[in-house]
Amino acid sequence: MSHLIDNTPSTPGKLKPDKSSYIHNRFRIHSSSFSKLTLWCLFFIAFVIFFFFLSLLSTTTPSNSAAASNRRSLGATWGGSAWEKRVTKSSRRATASNRAVLVTGAAGFVGMHVSLALKRRGDGVLGLDNFNRYYDLNLKLARQKLLERAGVFVVDGDINDAALLRKLFDVVPFTHVMHLAAQAGVRYAMQNPASYVHSNIAGFVNLLEACRSANPQPAIVWASSSSVYGLNSKVPFSEKDRTDQPASLYAATKKAGEEIAHTYNHIHGLSITGLRFFTVYGPWGRPDMAYFFFAKDILKGKQISIFQDPDRGTVARDFTYIDDIVKGCLRALDTAKKSTGSGGKKKGPAQLRIFNLGNTSPVPVSELVMILEKLLKVKAKRKMVPMPRNGDVRFTHANISLAYTELGYRPTTDLETGLKKFVRWYLDFYPGSKKKSAW
């Protein structure tokens, strides 16, 4: 099976709504709708404030104390001449025309790949990661070792540590920040909602504060999410579509991040580009993603659950291969204009952008499983189950016309090709998982 990508982004005509009625409905505003909008805005603000203070209070709970202890066990200390030398060396640019980039979440899936790509082309790269235990820490440490071999130092620290961020900006005059750190995952928000506000809202604000105070101010590229489209039923998803109906707390924090970015751009002159990623997959990926744990469970002979929508159709995703995402990230960074502030004060209008980075070819999850069966040479034990109300949505589909025009973004990897590379990595990284064919 092969899903080859056309040279231009796909925009299926049969799924397009009537343009005139869409515009009419989108911009009809009268007094009652305005009051409803005001009420919802106040509710959302109160919601965010509540969880923000909850996240602050939770720092004294046993579970968070344990997490802090875990970070300390990793040697989460910073400062001193030897530490500063490592920071400076890692951030050193090959030439004056290269960039000095701070990559947050560098030990994460996308963060590692972006850091390596930046380093390969001669940019100075410094990583920052708190090595939390949302998923297997050994995988993050393995990514860190790969980065170290490439000459990228990953500082063990948190974006909520204001003193650490100030120190990093004092030591290195970063030209750019690639902000990829976040509490990921839609379903985990049901268990630990405060962690999402702590990382995705409070942590983002803390980072923006450090950037606005820096001299020079860096340009910022950061990871939003396709989840901001929430319950939007218009496909493919366009940057102009409504994003005020999040289906999960994760989506709500990413939408809040977009509004916060607008504020810091407007007030402080920070150049900010947001990227809405669509279901990123590939080698060194996240174990909480379906393609990853499907492969794991298929090899173990375990039953896998495939979600169905109420009409008994399978869920579909716009799976986007990691190499295509990395290219989009680098193009966003390369086209980012300079921030216009100095000492926290805005001196002129600054660039503010948002782009979809997807593959434009949604694939049913049942088809994903078929490809994995073929590559693993093992028959999956399937169970079709109703889609739970835990924040998941039925489908995602990116309209990448804007990224195509302004960034030159053009994904080239179909799902089978990408999964083949993932499976090869998976079997190499987890050698004990190999299983004889059950066909």
Give the residue numbers marked as catalytic: 250
CA 288 to chain centre: 14
Q: Please, which residues bridge with residue 381 across strands?
A: 303
316-317 and 363-364 beta bridge pairing: antiparallel
- How many DSSP H helices and E strands does the chain contain? 15, 15
Q: Which residues of 353-373 are buried (b: 16+ CB within 10 A; e: fewer)?
A: bbbbbbbbbbbebbbbbebbb
272-277 and 303-308 beta bridge pairing: unpaired
CA 397 to chain centre: 16
Q: Please, which residues bridge with residue 124 across strands?
A: 100
> What is 265-299 written as a DSSP string?
HHHH---EEEEEE--EESTT--TTSHHHHHHHHHH
CB 414 within 8 A of CB 361: yes
The secondary structure element, H or E, covering residue 341 is strand 341-342
Omega cis (within 30) before 287: no
Q: Which amino acid, one-letter code, is at 365?
A: V
The secondary structure element, H or E, covering residue 153 is strand 153-156
The secondary structure element, H or E, covering residue 127 is strand 124-129
